[in-house]
Chains A and B, each alone.
Chain A
């Protein structure tokens, strides 16, 4: 399949970029720093490590996703490699899809790598016995809390949605503009409790703008279930259904963004 070939090439090029590895290595280092910081305040060592770990995965995932995806299409146009691709029997939707799948794979790899280190640390923090009780017993005595796994999974889908958004912007915006647009949308999308309050404002203009922002922009805030400050009034009756709905939301929203990206790119001259 052509889109897969393009995706493979995209991953290959993205993995060559130093900035990707810098973000990933720094993130893994910071996650690894969690247990050390935990020792400084033994009573809350678990809380510190878990909060730090999830926050680092989110932030590093955010930067890796944006910095990787803003260049995927523009760099092909700028380096003119797109000429030799689109002059072949490659449909423009296949090109955009291939770029998204490549970006998606990079997001998956980075979140998976950070998540694996984080969950491993959480696992060994919960071991019931120490290594002195025998290595095998020690290794199999840990447990990863479900919340931590769910947190990593939701961050991954949040980043998938962000990747689709960034690729959508890249079909018409320059990389610099795209960086700010994606970052701004992510921040605003994370403030869903604030934007939701605007929809009930007494001022019609504020209500209108609030509604547009709240319902049109992707609701990134819903993916942060671990953060009670952002959702002070929310009570989740069934967490599994909530997570499933968020994943479906991310997939559908990403699909819509990709369709829009294809429509724009189909009309773009290269």
Chain B
């Protein structure tokens, strides 16, 4: 399978003139996204996700590094006819109707009539925007309707590669679920989606692979299955001995042990073989095991662990 996006050493540095400081927004990013996959691009606010997308689209210029989109250099106008972008916030011309907006964007893609009108209708139907809203000013739209219009404008050129920046944020549960379905359906049409999102539950459902970026640096990348592999077990312990050094002895076996109240500890371990020695230790200290709960690792756990580990290391 060919790479839809291939990023090599992409770096973006800004110079803060007032503080005479260099800010690294994206740091030597290397990444490949295969054609036909929905790829999750995860990171905290300010991690460099939007800057990366803007560099790929030619809106900002990289300090160093390079990338290709669908086999052509990023920013190349020829490849843009096969791309689509939905920015983080849906900023549109409020005085236009959804139909007029899509017609305008269709013109920018040089789509002739009557094909343009046909495409507008298909896109508005696909995102399930109510037909009575098609000819109403966007100014009066709800957040969900704006987001649907945003996705519709991204589909006007029937793109091969879509960059979606937080397409489901701030929506009510029904709109959220519907838009997630729409994004997921793009994979069935053979489109590649580069999805930047904080909605990790969504990403876990619809993405095949993800990358986690922090302070501009790529921390990890892999399939959801690989990243979330392995169960974690949470053990809750209670007793007076907690105050008498039990915490330290447990941390020697399971480092991820923390005090959650004066007489209660919680520990997490990936290794099932550790459970028996832990129980033995707790009993010998005359404390009680309150619960032992196995947990499947969620993408959120992986994300939090990965980012925290990086923050602790730096």
Interface residues of A (CB under 8 A from B): 2, 5-6, 9, 12-13, 16, 79-81, 83-91, 267, 269-270
Task: Flag if A89 contacts B110 (CB, 8 Å).
Answer: yes
A83/B108 in contact, CB under 8 A: no
Asked if A2 contacts B107 (CB within 8 A), the reply is: yes
Task: Decide if A88 touches B108 in the complex (CB within 8 Å).
Answer: yes
Contact across chains for B83 and A87 when beta carbons are under 8 A apart: yes
User: Which residues of B lie under 8 Å from residue A5 when comparing CB positions?
Assistant: 104, 107-108
CB–CB A13/B93 < 8 A: yes
Question: Do A83 and B95 touch (CB < 8 A)?
Answer: no
Asked, given contacts A13-B95, A81-B92, whether A2 binds B110 with beta carbons under 8 Å apart, the answer is yes
CA gap between A87 and B96 in the complex, in Å: 20
CA distance A239 to B303 in the complex (A): 76
Q: How many residues of B contact A (CB 8 A)?
A: 29
Give the one of A9, A13, A16, A87 with max B CB within 10 A.
Answer: A87
Report chain A residues within 8 Å CB of B141: none
> Chain A: which residue is nearest B157 at the CB level?
A88
4 further A-B pairs in the complex, CB-CB below 8 A; given A269-B59, A270-B60? A5-B107, A13-B95, A80-B89, A89-B110
Q: Are B109 and A89 in contact (CB under 8 A)?
A: yes
Contact present for A9 and B104 (CB under 8 Å) = yes
Contacts A2-B107, A88-B80, A88-B109 known; A9 to B93 CB distance under 8 Å?
A: yes
Which B residues between 149 and 163 are near A, CB-CB below 8 angstroms?
153, 157, 163
With A5-B104, A13-B95, A91-B77 known as contacts, the answer to whether A83 contacts B87 (CB < 8 A) is yes
B134 contacts A by Cβ under 8 Å: no
A15→B151 CA distance, assembly (Å): 28
Do B105 and A84 touch (CB < 8 A)?
yes
B91 at the interface (CB under 8 A from A): yes
Task: Please give me the residue from chain A that is nearest to B85 by CB atom.
Answer: A87
Interface check B123, CB cutoff 8 A? no
- Please tell me if B78 contacts chain A, counting CB pairs below 8 Å: yes
Q: Which of B77, B85, B91 is A81 in contact with, Cβ under 8 Å? A: B91
Answer yes or no: B81 CB below 8 A from chain A CBs: yes
Beta-carbon contact of A80 and B87 below 8 Å:
yes
Interface centre among B59, B81, B108, B157 (most CB of A within 10 A): B108
| B74-124 CB contacts (< 8 Å) to partner A | 77-78, 80-81, 83-85, 87, 89, 91-93, 95-96, 104-105, 107-110
**How many angstroms from the CA of A86 to the CA of B109 in the assembled complex?**
11
Q: Is the CB of A85 within 8 A of B108?
A: yes
Which residue of chain B has the shortest Cβ distance to A92 in the bound complex? B58
What CA separation (Å) do A87 and B159 show in the bound complex?
Answer: 12
Is B5 part of the contact surface with A, judged by Cβ < 8 Å? no
Contacts of A85 in B (CB 8 A): 108
Cα–Cα, bound, A91→B80 (Å): 10
In the A-B complex, the 8 residue pairs with the closest CB atoms: A5-B107, A87-B85, A80-B91, A269-B60, A89-B80, A87-B57, A88-B108, A89-B81
Which residues of B205-248 have CB atoms within 8 Å of chain A's CB atoms? none
The answer to whether B87 touches A16, judged by C-beta atoms less than 8 angstroms apart, is: no
What residues of B have a CB within 8 angstroms of the CB of A79 in the complex?
Answer: 91
Question: B80 — which chain A residues lie within 8 A by C-beta?
Answer: 87-90
Residues of A within 8 A of B108 (CB): 2, 5-6, 85, 88-90
Q: Are B77 and A89 in contact (CB under 8 A)?
A: yes
Instruction: Tell me the complex Cα distance, A94–B274, Å.
Output: 66
Contacts of A84 in B (CB 8 A): 85, 87, 91-92, 105, 153
Report the nearest B residue to A270, measured CB to CB: B59
Give the residues in chain B near A81, CB-CB below 8 Å: 91-93
Which residues in B have their C-beta under 8 angstroms from that of A90?
A: 77, 80, 108
Closest to A5 in B: B107
Residue of B nearest to A86 (CB): B59
User: What CA separation (Å) do A79 and B92 show in the bound complex?
Assistant: 8
